[in-house]
Chains A and B, each alone.
Chain A
Amino acid sequence: MSTDVEQISIWGDKIGPLYFVSAELAIGYWLFAFFSAVGALQWVAARYHLAGLALFDLRQHRRRGYPLGLALVLGGTAFFFLWQWGPIFAPGPAGSELAVLFGASGIAALILTLAGSALLGNLRHPPVKQKVLAELGPLIPVGHAQGRWIEPLPEEQTDAAHSQAPLPALCLLPADRESEVVLAVLGRRLAREGRVLLLIHPDDNAYTFPAALAILPAAVSVLARRPEVDPNRIAVLGEGAGGDLAIRSASTAKDVRAMVAVAPILHEPPVGLGLLHELTFPQAIRWARDTVRAELVKWLDAGTYAAKVPPKPALVIYGSEDRLADRTALASGAGLELRTVAGLGHRYLAGHPAVMSIINDWLKEHL
Chain B
Amino acid sequence: MGWDWTLFRMANGLAGRSHLLDTLVRFVMNDYWATTMLVLLPFGLWFSGNSESERERNQKGVLSTVMALAMANLVVKVINLLYWRWRPFTYHDVTLLFYHPSDSSFPSNAATVGFCIAASVLLFNRRTGLVLLLIACLFSVSRVVGGVHYPTDILGGLIIGSASAWLVQRQWRWPDRLWAPLLRWLRRLVLA
Report if A88 contacts B (CB, 8 A).
Answer: yes
Count residues of chain A with CB under 8 A from any CB of chain B. 40
Closest A residue to B54 by CB, please name it: A48
Contact of A281 with B109 in the complex, beta carbons under 8 Å: no
Q: From known contacts A95-B109, A106-B43, A273-B47, infer whether A36 and B190 are also in contact, taking CB-CB under 8 Å.
A: no
Q: How many A-B residue pairs have CB under 8 A?
A: 86
| A39-47, A125-133, A140-148, A254-262 - interface stretch | A39-47
Report if B18 contacts A (CB, 8 A).
Answer: no
Closest A residue to B30 by CB, please name it: A88
| B34-42, B81-89, B118-126, B171-179 - interface stretch | B34-42
Report if A37 contacts B (CB, 8 A).
Answer: yes
- Chain A interface, >50% SS class: helix
Report if A116 contacts B (CB, 8 A).
Answer: no
Contact of A81 with B52 in the complex, beta carbons under 8 Å: no
Chain A residues closer than 8 Å to B109, beta-carbon distance: 95
The CA of A88 and the CA of B26, in the complex, are separated in Å by 10
Using an 8 Å CB-CB cutoff, how does the interface string of A90-126 with B read, 1 for contact, 0 for none?
A: 1111010010001000100000000000000000000
Contact of A273 with B99 in the complex, beta carbons under 8 Å: no
Contact of B27 with A273 in the complex, beta carbons under 8 Å: no
Chain B residues closer than 8 Å to A310, beta-carbon distance: none
Report if B19 contacts A (CB, 8 A).
Answer: no
Closest B residue to A271 by CB, please name it: B187
Count residues of chain B with CB under 8 A from any CB of chain A. 34
Closest A residue to B39 by CB, please name it: A102
Contact of B52 with A29 in the complex, beta carbons under 8 Å: no
Closest B residue to A50 by CB, please name it: B47
Chain B residues closer than 8 Å to A88, beta-carbon distance: 30-32
Report if A32 contacts B (CB, 8 A).
Answer: yes
Closest B residue to A270 by CB, please name it: B52
A:44-64 near B, CB below 8 Å:
44-45, 47-48, 50, 52-53
Report if A275 contacts B (CB, 8 A).
Answer: yes
Report if B98 contacts A (CB, 8 A).
Answer: yes
Binding site for A on B (CB under 8 A): 26-27, 30-33, 35-37, 39-41, 43-44, 47-50, 52, 55, 73, 98-99, 101-102, 109, 113, 186-192
20 more contacts with CB within 8 A, not counting A40-B43, A274-B52, are A33-B36, A36-B40, A37-B40, A40-B44, A44-B44, A44-B47, A81-B27, A88-B30, A89-B30, A89-B98, A91-B101, A95-B31, A95-B73, A95-B113, A98-B31, A98-B32, A271-B188, A271-B190, A272-B186, A272-B187
